[in-house]
Structure 1
């Protein structure tokens, strides 16, 4: 173990969180913090200039030229396939976590848990393993449980996906009902069912889910949908 160091870059737009993580990692002999970034612009610049084994990144960092969340993580994976990822986030929404899991992110730490969980998460990421802090573990277990049930959370029916796609593209419930030749009540019910399956309460989170799962693009474009069959 002599001289062994995991080189880590930390990206977070909250100075207090950066200070806390710096302090937490400062006493760990096997981890070296080689840089910090406040947004995706600074993060990508660091990755271009500094040797790095693991990126510890917040999920939501709205500023920066390269976005945040899934889009940013996907870019890092494509450009720096050797770099591992730990997501440090306040988000514990099953839909968001489900998306991270399907993208192959296996080390996630909730900011509501103790920062001590970052150390095993970094080691797990570096070795290609899996680590969830307690808050994340609980949600992931719920996702797995629901996946095996009759109505899996995060898995929408074709009709529900249609409704979410069109709603996220900017259509109203009335306009969706017109387009799909269904009643307004049916569309409202299908939208509500989709949100319940995804454990989403706010329309803005439904829009984010639609964008991150390819149902609608950031520019508002909607992928072509299959013709609805029957009523």
Structure 2
């Protein structure tokens, strides 16, 4: 009798889900794959919170970019992952994304700490199987781009905490420094001190907000 793994797959491209199902059916561990599917944040939300599905899924595969469920303020796979952690803490979480921006990848790890994080451009069928088998064996699996992008950031964690990452993102969106207190729970003096930290991290001795944005883009942070 074969072992069974119950998986929820959430992706707004049904063909991708079909591809994942086929690939995982070839796993070398002898697992039978039982899959459920959702194609947007609302459908996924409804499956995840259903009483019969609490801790039902062994693994939840989540695409990062999904049609949002605005009524519940669920905007992407990261928000869904937090819902899974709350409602089904025994389920393992794998996030798949086309994003290669370091800050997005870093934020996913800091906020969700998933069992797997894979950049779609990285992986082949063999890599997806390798990730699946690692995660089933209680190992964390990050694809190559994730590893290389995060290596430097994780070594300088104090420079890019939640506030500093948010500040870089807001500046890149055109928010002026003088208006940052309206978007962050920080005083202007705290913001100025943090800008010094960010400039140190980016090796900017003297410079404007535009210099921060330019260097952050050069490093693939945004």
Which bracket does the TM-score occupy, shorter chain normalised?
A: 0.5 to 0.7
Query: What TM-score do you get using the length of structure 1 for normalisation?
Result: 0.65
Gapped runs of 5+ residues in structure 1? 202-231
Q: Secondary structure of the equivalent of 2:89? A: coil
Query: 1 CA distance for matches of 2:23 and 2:163?
Result: 48
Q: Secondary structure of the equivalent of 1:10? A: strand
Does 2:16 match 1:8? Answer: no
Give the conservation status (yes or no) of the 8 Å contact 2:92–2:114.
Answer: no
Matched pairs, number:
191
Report Cα offsets for 1:130-166 as digits up to 9, x if no partner: 1122333333xxx223543xxx388349996695486
Report Cα offsets for 1:163-215 as digits up to 9, x if no partner: 54864797436766xx9599xx95425643773597334xxxxxxxxxxxxxx
Q: Which residue of 1 aligns with 2:199?
A: none
For the structure 1 residues 154 and 91, does the alpha-carbon distance in structure 2 shift closer, same or farther, using more than 3 Å as the test? farther
Give the conservation status (yes or no) of the 8 Å contact 1:9–1:34.
Answer: yes
Q: Which residue of 2 aligns with 1:200?
A: 221
Report Cα offsets for 1:46-72 as digits up to 9, x if no partner: 332442110011011133353213322
Q: Secondary structure of the equivalent of 1:129? A: coil
Does 2:118 match 1:109? Answer: yes
Q: Secondary structure of the equivalent of 1:60? A: coil
- Give the aligned CA root-mean-square deviation in angstroms: 3.7
Report Cα offsets for 1:104-125 as digits up to 9, x if no partner: 2231122112133222323333
Q: Which residue of 1 aligns with 2:103?
A: 95
**Structure 1 residue 95: deviation in Å?**
0.9
Query: 2 CA distance for matches of 1:157 and 1:46?
Result: 33
Query: What TM-score do you get using the length of structure 2 for normalisation?
Result: 0.67
Give the conservation status (yes or no) of the 8 Å contact 1:25–1:33.
Answer: no
Give the conservation status (yes or no) of the 8 Å contact 2:21–2:35.
Answer: no
Query: 2 CA distance for matches of 1:73 and 1:159?
Result: 21
Query: 2 CA distance for matches of 1:165 and 1:27?
Result: 41
Query: 1 CA distance for matches of 2:162 and 2:7?
Result: 42
Does 2:30 match 1:23? Answer: no
Q: Which residue of 2 aligns with 1:145?
A: 152
For the structure 1 residues 101 and 86, does the alpha-carbon distance in structure 2 shift closer, same or farther, using more than 3 Å as the test? same
Give the conservation status (yes or no) of the 8 Å contact 1:9–1:54.
Answer: yes
Q: Secondary structure of the equivalent of 1:8? A: strand
Q: Which residue of 2 aligns with 1:134?
A: 144
**Structure 1 residue 30: deviation in Å?**
0.8
For the structure 1 residues 192 and 6, does the alpha-carbon distance in structure 2 shift closer, same or farther, using more than 3 Å as the test? same
Report Cα offsets for 1:203-231 as digits up to 9, x if no partner: xxxxxxxxxxxxxxxxxxxxxxxxxxxxx
Gapped runs of 5+ residues in structure 2? 181-186, 193-205
